[in-house]
Structure 1
Amino acid sequence: MVHARPLDLEGVLAFVRVVDLGSFTRAAAALDTSQAAISLRLKRLEDRIGTRLLDRTPRHVAVTREGELFLLAARRLLEAHDSALADVAGAAPARLSLGISDHVAGPDLPDLLRRLGLAQAGLVAEVRIRPSRDLATAFDSPGEGGFDAVILRTEEPAERGGTVLAEERLGWFAAPDFPAPRAGEPLRLAGLAGPCNVRGVATRALDAAGLPWTEIFVGGGVMAVGAAVMAGLAVAALAPSTAPPGALEIGGAFGLPELPRTWIVLRARRLDGRAAEALRTLTAAYRSPGGR
């Protein structure tokens, strides 16, 4: 069937963001609008196309078969729109310098950057993965090589001038076949190199509980630590969102001390235009799941 009227780009963008972020609430945050507005845009788009694109319940969002068929075309349409605007403007692309804590980025970051379109025309995104402590110091010392925004993991929810995106309790993660240590045997640990807040929290908790431990793997990033975990080499203290797929939380089964809650916090300078839009979109992906 040929549709005489063109599609509403705001509705198309709302649909793509809901799919990418898995939530109406996160899509609303990314697009700087309300959840009700996102729902209305989706309804108008579905009415315009004449088919249901999403199935949603209070706790779940799923793409219909028709939605899957429409998704690729929707992405192409948005890319063509952005490219056309960039060609007409003829200006230098906006820049976004973003620092993300290694204990926030997680194994899905590459796919997330691709799906959220940070490589689209009109933006140069510079993303650096650093320890939270280093990012906080760099953000407080602006200048050449500084950051427009940083996303940190902290034990203090009221990070100076920051916005709390999510709250998570750290856990002890291991491969499914990792053996519990025998009585008196030290727990084999994997952690990040250098000063790491999560490593410090974990070792202090073990010391306070009087449990012996030994560090047998030091990784240059959380992905390396996750690889050591899944290879069965060691246990690692991680947030559930950054644990490797297939790893199990074994704290209770092994009698390990409970680890504290942590907060994912955004600190950002005043941005506008494409850089502000990209930052809203990316940070929405790290927000705690809310209403759908």
Structure 2
Amino acid sequence: MTTLDVDAVKTFVTIAELKSFTRAAEALGTTQGAISVKLKRLERQVGHRLIERTPRLVRLSALGAEFLAPARELLAAHDRAVAGLSPARRRRFSLGIATHVGGAEVPTLLARLHAHDPALTIEVRLDDSRDLLDAFDRGQIDAAIIRREDDRRDGEMLATDHYGWFATPDFVHRTGEPLRLAASSPSCGVLNIATRALAAAGIPWTETFLGCGSFAVADAVAAGLATSVFSCRLAPAGTIEVSRRFGLPALPPSEIVLLSALSDARSRVVLKTLVGAFREHHRLPADRAAEEIRAITEAAGS
């Protein structure tokens, strides 16, 4: 019976998630040479190539893709077993995620954090980027994934998000009339960017719906009451991008960043796990969003 090296399996999973030997080595606190040796050891143990590597690409082989889920389960079981033997008290980790940022990847992030450290109690707060930034600065949360606000340059960049104007297909806006907007809060940073763009374009607007939270805003837009600005990844079901239809201004992309006040070794590993899971889940939707925005912009200029 083949006995797998848990450390080698963790190396394989890290490479698969980050799709880079360089980033995997950084996340594991070792060198590219060391992780290459561990991967080769694992491939010898299973008798198959798991990672295909070229000068421009790192990807899973067919058997590697099949092995990834069981490998994650093995690591989770190993961590639970180790945690069960440890007398250490459970740790708490408070994470803020901006409502204009968090989407379908949130369950993935939480599952990955739990699998990494089953003894970790995770507290999640969903709020506007500005409110989360204030909470982080006051020490009320350990880390936050937010839109980069103003000229603040701290934090680790995770991805670039693209925004558009969304409404239902039958939403009506007549030239010269104030654009009906829905917003979650007067202090919402995305709303402020949108209204500044409208002002620069000379387009009047009125706040038709002010809801409590982004879900209420999404419901109002999906009901046809107003238009609003959403990340192209998070637009409400049944809505379409309407900037070209109504002559609305293009919106600048936004950087998504991770802020953290944690510095101990164990917490740094948690954060690296969080960063890797976010980037893995966000990469393809973000690329598609960029293509959609580019097509809309080119069409508007033609």
Say if 1:124 and 1:198 are closer, same or farther in 2 by CA, change over 3 A: same
Q: 1:155 Cα deviation (Å)?
A: 4.1
Q: Is the 8 A contact 1:98 1:126 kept in 2?
A: yes
Q: Structure 2: 5+ residue runs without aligned partners?
A: 285-302
Q: 1:71 aligns with which of 36, 58, 68?
A: 68
Q: Aligned pair 1:210/2:205, yes or no?
A: no
2:167 is aligned with 1:170:
no
Please tell me whether the aligned partners of residues 178 and 232 of structure 1 are also in contact (alpha carbons under 8 angstroms): yes
- CA separation of 1:83/1:30 partners in 2, compared to 1, >3 Å: closer, same or farther? same
Q: Are 1:9 and 2:3 matched, yes or no? A: no
Distance 1:193 1:158, change over 3 A: closer
Please, which of 144, 151, 164 is the counterpart of residue 145 of structure 2? 151
Q: Is 1:95 aligned to residue 95 of structure 2?
A: no
Q: Secondary structure at the match of 1:147?
A: coil
* C-alpha contact (below 8 Å) 1:170/1:239 kept by paired residues: yes
Check whether the contact 1:29–1:280 (CA below 8 A) recurs between aligned residues.
no
Query: Which whole-Å CA distance do the structure 2 matches of 1:96 and 1:274 have between them?
Result: 12
In 2 relative to 1, CA 10–130 (structure 1 residues): closer, same or farther, beyond 3 Å?
Answer: same
Q: How far apart are residue 254 of structure 1 and its match?
A: 3.2
The alpha carbon displacement at 1:257 in A equals: 0.9
Larger displacement relative to structure 2 (96-105 or 228-237):
228-237
Deviation at 1:32, TM superposition (A): 4.7
Partner of 1:189: 181
Q: Is the 8 A contact 1:94 1:275 kept in 2?
A: no
Q: Is the 8 A contact 1:163 1:265 kept in 2?
A: yes
Which shows bigger deviation, 42-51 or 53-62? 53-62
Asked whether the 8 Å contact 2:132–2:146 carries over to 1, the reply is yes
Listed one character per residue, the Cα deviations across residues 150-198 of structure 1 (whole Å, up to 9, x for unaligned) are 2221243543x433333334322345x3546232344332322342111
Q: Name 1:136's counterpart in structure 2.
A: 133
The change in CA–CA distance for 1:267 and 1:72 in structure 2 (over 3 A counts) is: closer
| 2:204 counterpart of 1:222 | no
Cα RMSD of the aligned pairs, angstroms, is 3.4
What letter is aligned with 2:210? V
The offset of 1:49, in angstroms, is 1.3
**Offset at 1:120?**
4.0
SS at match of 2:114: coil
Change in CA separation of 1:154 and 1:73 when aligned onto 2, cut-off 3 Å: closer
Q: TM-score, normalised by structure 2?
A: 0.75
Q: CA deviation at 1:97?
A: 1.6
- Give 1:232 deviation, angstroms: 4.4
- 1:282 pairs, out of 274, 291, 295, with 274
Q: Which deviates more from structure 2 when the two are superposed, residues 162-171 or residues 39-48?
A: 39-48
Q: Distance in 2 between matches of 1:285 and 1:260?
A: 25
Contact 1:155 1:262 survives alignment (8 Å) = no
Deviation of 1:199 (Å): 0.9
CA distance in 2, matches of 1:224, 1:35: 47
TM-score by length of 1: 0.77
Q: Give how far 1:62 is off.
A: 5.5
| Identity value in percent | 46
Which SS does the other structure have where 1:270 is aligned?
coil
Task: For 2:47, give the aligned amino acid.
Answer: G
Q: Give the Cα–Cα distance (whole angstroms) in 1 for the partners of residues 41 and 215 of structure 2.
A: 42
CA distance in 1, matches of 2:218, 2:193: 18
Greater mean deviation of Cα atoms: 130-139 or 44-53: 44-53
* 190-199 vs 281-290, which moves further: 281-290
Return the alpha-carbon distance in structure 2 between the equivalents of residues 249 and 32 of structure 1: 43
How far has the Cα of 1:13 moved from its partner?
Answer: 2.2
CA-CA distance at 1:91 after TM superposition: 0.9
Residue pair 1:156, 1:262 contacting (<8 A) in 2 also = no
Give the whole-Å Cα distance in 2 for the aligned partners of 1:97 and 1:221. Answer: 20
Q: Distance in 1 between matches of 2:214 and 2:39?
A: 37
Distance 1:252 1:39 in 2: 49
Number of aligned residue pairs: give it: 280
Q: Is there any run of 5+ residues in structure 1 with no aligned partner, and where? A: none
